[in-house]
Structure 1
Amino acid sequence: MIYSTALRRGALALSLCLSAGVATAQDIPVEGGRLDLVVQPEPPSLFIGITTNGPSLLVAGSIYEGLLRYNDKLEPMPSLAESWEVSDDALTYTFHLRQGVKFSDGEPFSSKDAMFTFTKLLPETNPKWREVMRHVETIDAPDDHTVVFKLNAPYGPFIRSFAYTLAPMIPAHLYEGTDFAKNPNNDNPVGTGPFELKEWKKGAYIDLVKNPDYWAAGKPHLDEVVYHVVPDAASRATAFETRTVSVLPGGSVENFDIPRLAKEEGVCTTEKGWEYNAPMSFLWLNNRTAPMDNVKFRQAVMYALNRPLMQKVVWNGYGKVASGPITSTIPFYDKVDPQYDYDPKKAKELLKEIGYDGKPLRLLPLPYGETWQRWAEVVKQNLSAVGIPVEIESTDVAGWNQKTSQWDYDIAFTYLYENGDPALGVARNYITSQITKGNPFANVEGYSNADIDKWFDEAAVAASDDERQALYTKIQTKLQEDVPVAWLQELSFPTLYDCKVHDLVNTGLGIGNSLGDTWIEK
């Protein structure tokens, strides 16, 4: 066996099939079989109650579920909640949970587990959920299959807060009263999803098997899903060419290999599945230390970066150069000034103005393959060209998590999901309350501005979309001026797969939320 992980990306809702011999989808799925995928890099953990790296979400999305799923238009669909109601004043949300649902250890899922997850575990472990909870006045469970949220004010993005990526349902009977970070079940995940963990051979593969007690009748169709960990990108491409693996999730091969592989007979490709996550890549600039604490230095960094060239050369034209902190594919995006075109002369002028002394800086790449390493090299060249010497500090995924979460960096690559609404996935990157040491998925740069905090709060609960848009435009303008981070690109990662694989991506959350429906044509 070979094995590995994949990232996720999104924005475009394109789906192409590039083979003349593509099989037409059948009405009746074929039962059984094994699906082999790549996961790149290997997840640090499958307990997504704490760890929300892209690779962890890819695999664990078949183990854990949220109350809702979302389509490519970000509209809610049933999952563990079979129905829900919203009061006329938009303050009360009532979710009706499915009956007869079991965790993979055989214990029943009920409102007790939902209450534990929402009120105990996630507020401690997940900064995005902490932001959601600021808008919740009470949560009640009147019976075993009902959960009622009462908000302190209307909160537009609330209905999009229940994806598995943001609020996976965790078994209370295994976690209540424990140290969540050290719970032994973190290595043996127990969820309600269509698959359960059979074996994880570190450095080789993660083997999931069909959950025989899954609540959806007749699903999953597959008997087994195996995620291959293949550290070398060329070997991942070869594994796909030889059909050792049938699926290359977005980000699992280098961008320069995608056009060649996509042209092969019997290969399909899609950019669907990233609509909810809407990943934005940027450079964290450690605002706590000089010279990154100077706004003119941060502006100089933006002017020094040849981002259109990076998008064209490093990313083979995939994705889109970022124009600010909100991706163009989610609500309330606005392209505002100032914009930062490639202007090394302007960068040098700003550095001279602040008396920058040429202090060498540490640049931490994302350890997700050669594409990211090349990207770091280009950034180093761009910065060096304007007089900012950079030393690249490479590390593995665990090391990257450690360094960024402990603020042990000067400049660091990242990409974060925007989760379908600025209140869910953008605010956490910039508001003061999300400066929390120990978590690499919040305000890691340490930016703090009272106006930004206030405007994000107001925008989240504004009564109309027009009011929300006005506030988010103010936010984007101020952040563009302050440049707390250096925005790089709205990411898009095509998924390549054997055309005999059907229903691989059928939600706005991609492969991680779809494999219960997937089947393989014989």
Structure 2
Amino acid sequence: MSEICGRNGMGRRATRRAALRGGVLVAAGAAFALACGGKKEQAATGGAPAATARAGVAPTTAPNQQPKVGGEYRVGFTGPFAGVDPHNSVYGGSGIVPIVYNYLIRTSLVAPEKGILQELAVSQEQPESTTVIFKLRPDAMIQENKHGVPVRPIDAEDVKASFERVADPRSASNGFSWINEWVDHFEAVDKTTFKIVTKSPYAWVLNNVGNNLYSAIVPREWLASPDLKKHAIGSGPFILQSVEEGGQAVLTRNPNYWEKGKPYIGTYIIKSFADLATYRTAFTTNQLDVYSAPNVEEAKELLKTRKDAQHLQDPSFGFLSFWMNVREKPWDDPRIRRAVRRAVNPQEYIQIIGRGDGFWIGPITYAMRDYALPEEEVKRLMPYNPQEAKQLLQAAGQPNLTFKFQHPTSSNVIDYVNIFVRQMQAVGITAQAEPMDAGTWVAQYFQSKLTASLSLNQEYANPDFALHWYVTRGITGNGRYDTGFSDPEVDAAVKKAAGILDEKERIKAYQEAQRLIIAKDPPFWNFFGIRSNVLVSNEVINYPRGLGSLGYGFVKDIWLNR
């Protein structure tokens, strides 16, 4: 989703009472429906590639027409749905949750000019640096359903129950870490007033409150259901009718949505595909309205077939990474971890997979703007140096290292695998790939049972979330997807940066934290930063682009001109 700090919310002085109704964001947003990208430019401060594409909606073919209600909107992806748990979904499920459920607010660092999108919260204020108070709308009704959940307004008790579930390690929530580390308590002051009190000032409170991966607001009765992962009941613009693993999800318009007249789409179809070839074919044969191409050349080529479509390129938080389990040999040896990284040439991935379009990135991707290390510094700190790789292997007593690594068969992962295996061979390493169907892979990844993995990633919406790959207990703070890496200096550096309210000082702290992480030879690193290349039918009006995961908040505005 995104983040808010610095000039907003938790970025204000503790002595200043501030009504937070919008304003400028200074953090990072995720990618909406794989739609992100921008021009290859250097940021004005720090030299990191800037996310410069203008955020908003795609050009329309009927700008002067009244929106039409109804129609079937069809999108797709590769991989499984893997359930629709509101607080720990990944893969396709993470595209369902943010349009069935509402959030207090939504924000995006990719689109700072959009400020804060108010959803269940009509306003928020910060009476002191450790407290945020949200005022809720009284008319956000729970969707009609067949599961016995009463149709009533969402209230502060629902909000409190939702965040308390995220804070419960048994729920395996994606958002456990920030609540466990920073939140003192949640309070439902009355039916329309909700309060968050932190242990100390924290820069990313509002960003995390709006994160689509872990901050959905769920009716408290539904939170107790054993079917929480199978079905979804919220107050959002769409009602989930069915999810068929390996098939499709069907959602329909919520006729009682609190924003009157919206959403416009009548039926929302999300199709699951086993591989890119079938996904691509579905788009070229007009079975889909939207397609995310792996690179700009394919996007342009497909326009020859789908002349009714437009190509949107925007910054992306997306990347693939290499994950190592330090509980397993040889990954407990930092010399081996460094040798493998030195054997990797990111430029080859950029040339072959990105078709020359991409960025060298450190622990924080380029789309987070000034928080990212400058590209030239990344090249210096994490160089491609096969000779050093060989020397490190020799010093570690492993000149002919052999290791196995797992990977999912979805998306374009196999393209990365082929390059990776070849680059390892060049320094004398035999890397043995073990492909897994995406469902099996993500289940084992979730439980930290893999030995090493070439991994797909969710979008990490702010620097704090992104750097939690390197802190004790890992990205979620509850041991899920955990490499086993632990370093007190890194833990302290990441926490220090997140507690700094001055934006300029916080940027410096995050850059220093990244330099420290790189020096520790971490068991997780990114191949390269990509742009998104999305093709959208011209019949789709108001498609959100360049907004990060904030785009999910604007799906209600899409309508179909057919």
Q: Is residue 51 of structure 2 the alignment partner of residue 8 of structure 1?
A: no
Q: Bigger CA drift: 226-235 or 391-400?
A: 226-235
Residue 310 of structure 2 aligns with which residue? 268
Residue 73 of structure 1 aligns with which residue? 111
How far has the Cα of 1:519 moved from its partner? 0.4
Match of 1:395 among 436, 442, 467: 436
How far has the Cα of 1:460 moved from its partner? 1.1
Structure 2 SS opposite 1:28 = coil
Match of 1:310 among 349, 374, 397: 349
CA distance in 2 between counterparts of 1:510 and 1:39 reads 19
Structure 2 SS opposite 1:404 = helix
Structure 1 SS opposite 2:422 = helix
How far has the Cα of 1:477 moved from its partner? 1.1
How far has the Cα of 1:515 moved from its partner? 1.8
Residue 165 of structure 2 aligns with which residue? 120
How far has the Cα of 1:410 moved from its partner? 3.0
Residue 3 of structure 1 aligns with which residue? none
Residue 333 of structure 2 aligns with which residue? 294
Amino acid at match of 2:153: P
Aligned 8 A contact 1:10 1:273 in 2: yes
Aligned 8 A contact 2:315 2:367 in 1: no
Aligned 8 A contact 1:131 1:428 in 2: no
CA distance in 2 between counterparts of 1:383 and 1:168 reads 42
Structure 2 SS opposite 1:393 = strand
| 1:84-133 deviation digits (Å, cap 9, x = unpaired) | 1122x322211111112122232431111100011234543324343244
Structure 1 SS opposite 2:532 = coil
| 1:56-96 deviation digits (Å, cap 9, x = unpaired) | 22232211221112254243220111111122x32221111
Match of 2:64 among 26, 31, 50: 26
Q: Bigger CA drift: 503-512 or 214-223?
A: 503-512
Residue 345 of structure 1 aligns with which residue? 387
Residue 153 of structure 2 aligns with which residue? 108
Aligned 8 A contact 1:292 1:298 in 2: yes
Structure-2-length-normalised TM-score: 0.82
Aligned 8 A contact 1:16 1:268 in 2: no
Amino acid at match of 2:72: R
Q: Is residue 399 of structure 2 the alignment partner of residue 361 of structure 1?
A: no
Match of 2:235 among 192, 207, 218: 192
CA distance in 2 between counterparts of 1:435 and 1:279 reads 16
Match of 1:143 among 170, 185, 190: 190
Q: 1:9 and 1:305, CA in 2 relative to 1: closer, same or farther beyond 3 A?
A: farther
How far has the Cα of 1:314 moved from its partner? 1.9
Amino acid at match of 1:201: E
Amino acid at match of 2:126: V
Amino acid at match of 1:452: V
Aligned 8 A contact 1:16 1:270 in 2: no
Identical aligned pairs, as a percentage? 20
Amino acid at match of 2:204: P
Gaps of 5+ in 2: 1-31, 39-51, 146-150
Q: 1:479 and 1:516, CA in 2 relative to 1: closer, same or farther beyond 3 A?
A: same
Q: Bigger CA drift: 78-87 or 126-135?
A: 126-135
Q: Is residue 525 of structure 2 the alignment partner of residue 477 of structure 1?
A: no
Match of 1:55 among 92, 117, 128: 92
Structure 2 SS opposite 1:329 = helix
Q: 1:132 and 1:312, CA in 2 relative to 1: closer, same or farther beyond 3 A?
A: farther
Structure-1-length-normalised TM-score: 0.88
How far has the Cα of 1:199 moved from its partner? 2.4
Structure 2 SS opposite 1:39 = strand
How far has the Cα of 1:207 moved from its partner? 0.9
| 1:290-315 deviation digits (Å, cap 9, x = unpaired) | 22122221111111112111111123
Structure 1 segment 94-493 matched on structure 2, within 5 A: 94-104=133-143, 105=145, 106-124=151-169, 125-163=172-210, 164-176=212-224, 183-248=226-291, 250=292, 257-263=298-304, 264-272=306-314, 274=316, 278-322=317-361, 324-330=362-368, 331-335=370-374, 336=377, 338-356=380-398, 358-369=400-411, 371-417=412-458, 419-423=460-464, 425-434=465-474, 440-441=480-481, 444-484=482-522, 485-493=524-532
Amino acid at match of 2:284: E
Residue 45 of structure 2 aligns with which residue? none
Amino acid at match of 2:71: G
Amino acid at match of 1:172: R
Q: CA RMSD in A?
A: 2.7
How far has the Cα of 1:456 moved from its partner? 1.3
CA distance in 2 between counterparts of 1:385 and 1:437 reads 36
CA distance in 1 between counterparts of 2:550 and 2:352 reads 26
Aligned 8 A contact 1:205 1:227 in 2: yes
| 1:387-423 deviation digits (Å, cap 9, x = unpaired) | 1111111112221123223333332122434544212
Structure 2 SS opposite 1:516 = helix
Aligned length: 498
| 1:273-327 deviation digits (Å, cap 9, x = unpaired) | 85xxx234320122222221222211111111121111111233344222x1011
Q: Bigger CA drift: 473-482 or 459-468?
A: 459-468
CA distance in 1 between counterparts of 2:55 and 2:179 reads 36
How far has the Cα of 1:15 moved from its partner? 6.8
Q: 1:407 and 1:203, CA in 2 relative to 1: closer, same or farther beyond 3 A?
A: closer
Aligned 8 A contact 1:132 1:158 in 2: no
CA distance in 2 between counterparts of 1:380 and 1:255 reads 25
Aligned 8 A contact 2:322 2:527 in 1: yes
Aligned 8 A contact 2:107 2:116 in 1: yes
CA distance in 2 between counterparts of 1:102 and 1:158 reads 26
How far has the Cα of 1:356 moved from its partner? 0.9
CA distance in 2 between counterparts of 1:126 and 1:202 reads 22
Structure 2 SS opposite 1:451 = helix
How far has the Cα of 1:213 moved from its partner? 1.5
CA distance in 2 between counterparts of 1:185 and 1:48 reads 8
